[in-house]
Structure 1
């Protein structure tokens, strides 16, 4: 039997990767601004990126991780009904 949870996880990873790939084409200033926006969405009040979000790779990882969480949260709520 195939677990529906595994299918949701695959979809979430796929969607998160698509988001990350789209942002790979963004400029450094666009990436930084979007990361700051993500941080503000989760309650951080910083106006500058922290030390662990200074490289392009770190910023893309944050974006992919946030997208994965966001898609997972939507899928989990939908699957409860």
Structure 2
């Protein structure tokens, strides 16, 4: 078994950028709805966006960050050195 201290998270930035570009064309209401969907997926029961997700830029950054996490992979540190 690999020690949890010996892993690193590597982000697939290319796929995250593709997601971001797709969502840049979305309306504000579509962005808001998707952000709420992501929040529910990670266990937040709120029905309203928090203060830090009220602007379009904040929402796009959140979606891109979530995509980075979702498309990332956990690698053994020794395999990337």
Partner of 1:52: 52
When normalised by structure 1's length, the TM-score is 0.77
Larger relative contact order (Cα-Cα within 8 Å, sequence gap ≥ 6): 2
**Structure with the bigger percentage of strand:** 2
- Structure 1: 5+ residue stretches without partners: none
Match for residue 42 of structure 1? 42
Q: Which has the higher helix share?
A: 1
Alignment of 1:1-81 (within 5 A): 9=11, 12-72=12-72, 75-76=73-74
Deviating runs (4+, > 6 A) in structure 1?
none
Whichever of the two has the greater Rg, that structure is 2
Q: Where in structure 2 are there 5+ consecutive unaligned residues?
A: 1-7, 77-81
When normalised by structure 2's length, the TM-score is: 0.77
C-alpha distance in 1 between matches for 2:48 and 2:59 = 13
